Amino acid sequence: MKRFLDRLLGGRLLLVLIVSFSLVATLTVGVFALATSRVIGNYLAAAENKRVARDMDLADAFYQSKLNEIAAITHRLSLDHWVNHHLPGAIHNRADALAAIDQQITNKIAVLALGGTHFIAVVDNNGEILVGRVLSAEGELSPVINGGNWGELPIIIEVLSSGESKSSTEVIPVGFLEQVGLEVQAFVTLFETPKAADEPYDSREGTAGLALTGVSPLKNQGGHVVGAVVAAYLINNDFTLVDRIKEVAGVDTVTIFFGDLRVSTNVMTEERERAVGTRVSKEVFEVVLEEGQTYVGNAFVVNQMYITQYEPLRDHAGDVVGILYVGALQSTFQALVETFQNQVILIALVCIVLASVIAVPIARLITRPIASLVEANRQLAQGNMAVQVQATGEGELAILGRSFNKMANTLQQTQQELLQKEKLASMGQLAAGIAHEINNPLGTILLFSDVMFKEADKDDPRRDDLNMIISETKRCQLIVANLLNFARQQDVLAQQTDVFLLMDQTIKGFEQHPTFKDIEVIREYSPDLPLIQADPGQLQQVFVNLITNAAEAMEDGGTLTISTRPIEDQSIEIKFTDTGSGIPKEDLHKIFTPFYTTKVLGKGTGLGLSIVYGIIKMHRGQIAVQSKIWEGTTFTITLPMRLPASVTDSANESAV
């Protein structure tokens, strides 16, 4: 058995087996979850129903308690001696009578037990408000209200005509609320809510108020109704009741709806704001509001699953005007899973055995990409740098395949760079030899032709020929000088270099040059670019060559954009982008080759970019080019912030 395990875990298939066992574990968990859900499903369903029913009973008890409180206030005021005694005087607008009734209202409204926004008023038999007061949720008492007419409110009409007290959940239209200054609190902005009904249940949603309302009649000594006491607790944007139910009864979330609109809730949005203004789902709308039935079901509220129950709220006439909602966190029932741990362990053992059997064929399936990778590695060893493997997916083998492809591409690129370096080195040696051999004869030619030019008469026809010889000889000397510069690319005298300062000095040297007359230079420097180790003289030579090439490519003017940025605290990037004529695609791979140029004959030697390439490589950097005909060219230089010790040591030895 031990030998088998050693062979199994010590071979090349270790990674494959790990992946296989991961798949086995996933399958095991899936079977485990399926079996567990079947065992505990019925038990959880019963427990969930009991919990939400208990929460609804508690919420309904608090709701009825608040309604009873409102009804009790109106009843006590309707029996109050001072109210009944001064009512006739108040009807005749006597100040002392109005003040006496206001005192009784103030006494009652100031001692409300549960807080919230309340309105209490005494009206005559036409519904005219004689005296009224509003108490805000913050405990602020409004000035006395001596005007307004609530005679058209259905519950008041019913009480004045029947002489019987009424209390229920009522809809208070905005016109009545404006008379007592509560229209602003009642206003609720309706938000677009997924899965809601197409139209609101009540067209007054958003402006009218939902209130717990109590009305008791006031009668004279003959038993005739001469007025009424009205009390209301405005639910819109008042969270006193829902928060009290949550805190005292231990209910997770409570909401009161006006129609299908949330007007008071402690359900929070993802922005941690109360979800006032959102609407109930269409499914609940149809069951509770249209059919008047209770709705029980699971729902995802903001960011957690809840077990919910919705009960209809009815007015004094028995019509549905709103909804009372409670929700319990579903996560609280997860603790019940512990009851079935014995069954779960048995199921897990069966799954593990099953997974072990399945692992073997899966392991064989995964070995196929490894074989492909081995074959690709063999071809690479034989010199095929273009070999690639197919890497699909995001697994470890796919990552390994992409790493192999990246390695092969890097080797191919390195090989090309080495060939380019060898070519440049050979060309440099050849150029140095040719330059030294040609320089002396050129000096002699220039000397004698200059002497002959000065000795010739002004009307001598040979003066033009001599002037041409002098001019062309000087051009040859310039070419020889460039050849020597190309050949002398040897050492990097590294020092701390400010690229910003060096670039600005270079640009300043071009500002008065005729070539830059119609060229705009845009600097896009990164403010956090650090100092780098470099040879400032050689870098300036790079900048001069690239800026000169850009200017010559924009004969009719244009824009040269120079940008810099740091890269991952290891290197910096410098870009030169012009809007010139561009370089043909087929010529891009040749632009760093010595003596290659796209300029017209006599305007360039073809060594500028070769020198640039050599300098950048000596700085352990990279240079790349992108170009489109008639759109422009971009040269991108990447330089390390610190040069390797081998480069700086070599430079120091050369300096000594």
Q: Which residues contact 233 (CB under 8 A, 6 or more apart)?
A: 66, 70, 116, 117, 118, 211, 212, 213, 241
Higher-pLDDT residue of 639 and 28 is 639
Average pLDDT of 629-637? 93
Residue 227 in this model has a pLDDT that exceeds 70: yes
Task: Kindly indicate the confidence band of residue 392, based on its pLDDT and cuts at 50, 70 and 90.
Answer: confident
The tokens for 566 are 């740091």
* Residue spans of alpha helices (H) in 92-223: 95-109, 154-162, 174-180, 183-186
For tokens 């071809």, what's the residue? 379
Average pLDDT, stretch 494-506?
Answer: 91
Q: How confident is the prediction for the chain on average, in pLDDT?
A: 82
Contacts 24+ apart (CB under 8 A), 506-510: 506/540, 506/543, 506/544, 506/547, 507/547, 507/562, 509/544, 510/547, 510/548, 510/551
Query: Fold identical between 47-331 and 489-655?
Result: no
Confidence grade of residue 263 (pLDDT, cut at 50, 70, 90): very high
Please give the Cα distance from 444 to 35 (Å, whole number): 101
233 beta partners: 118, 212
How many whole angstroms separate alpha carbon 249 and alpha carbon 61?
A: 10
Number of other CB atoms surrounding residue 648 within 10 Å = 16
Q: Is 228 helix (H, G, I), strand (E, B) or coil?
A: strand
As beta bridge partners, residue 214 has 167, 231
Mean pLDDT of 506-535: 88
Strand spans (E) along 220-350: 225-234, 253-258, 261-265, 295-301, 304-314, 320-329
pLDDT-wise least confident of 385-394, 499-508, 570-579, 647-656: 647-656
pLDDT score at 292: 94
Looking at residue 336, its pLDDT comes to 62
Q: Are 136 and 113 in contact (CB under 8 A)?
A: no
- CA pair distance 207, 186, nearest whole angstrom: 6
Beta strand pairing call for 129-135 and 118-124: antiparallel
Q: Is the dihedral of CA 263, 265, 268, 271 positive or negative?
A: positive
Residue 75 has pLDDT above 50, yes or no: yes
Domain ranges for the chain: 47-331, 489-655
Superfamily of domain 489-655: Histidine kinase-like ATPase, C-terminal domain (3.30.565.10)
pLDDT at 270: 80
Average of pLDDT values for 461-472? Answer: 81
Mean pLDDT of all residues in 409-438: 63
Give the pLDDT of residue 654: 45
Q: Whose structure tokens read 């051999």?
A: 437
Evaluate whether 253 touches 189 at the Cβ level (below 8 Å).
no
- For 146-193, what is each residue's pLDDT tens digit? 999 999 999 999 999 999 999 999 999 999 999 999 999 999 999 988
Q: CA–CA separation, 497 vs 536, rounded Å? A: 6
Cα Rg, the chain, nearest whole Å? 46
DSSP designation for 277: T
Q: Which residue has the tokens 């939400």?
A: 52
Q: β-pairing, 209-219 with 225-234? A: antiparallel
The percent of residues above 90 in pLDDT, for the chain, comes to 43
- Region 33-39: mean pLDDT is 67
CB crowding 297-315: b at 16 or more within 10 Å, else e: eebebeeeebbbbbbbbeb
Average pLDDT over residues 345-372: 68
Torsion 272-278-283-289 (CA) sign: positive
Average pLDDT over residues 261-281: 90
pLDDT tops 60 at residue 282? yes
**Domain 47-331 belongs to what architecture?**
2-Layer Sandwich (3.30)
Q: Which of 174-178, 337-341, 612-616 has the lowest mean pLDDT?
A: 337-341
CA 212 – CA 232 distance, rounded (Å): 5
* Residue 216 confidence (pLDDT): 96
How far apart, in whole angstroms, are the C-alpha atoms of residue 118 and residue 235? 9
Tokens of 63: 């709701």
What pLDDT was estimated at residue 656? 39
Task: State the pLDDT at residue 655.
Answer: 42
Quote the pLDDT of residue 14. 46
Q: Which of 470, 477, 478, 473 is nearest to 452 (CA)?
A: 470
pLDDT at 511 exceeding the cut of 60: yes
Q: Among 406, 317, 399, 308, which Cα is nearest to 59's?
A: 308
> Is the distance from CB of 156 to CB of 228 less than 8 angstroms?
yes
Per-residue confidence (pLDDT) for residue 260, from 0 to 100: 94
Q: What share of the chain is helix, strand, coil (3-state, %, to 5)?
A: 50, 20, 30
Over residues 110-125, mean pLDDT: 83
> Which pLDDT does position 35 carry in this prediction?
67
Angstrom distance (rounded) from CA 500 to CA 523: 10
DSSP-assigned letter for residue 8: H
**Segment among 28-37, 94-103, 129-138, 606-615 with least mean pLDDT:** 28-37
Give the pTM.
Answer: 0.51
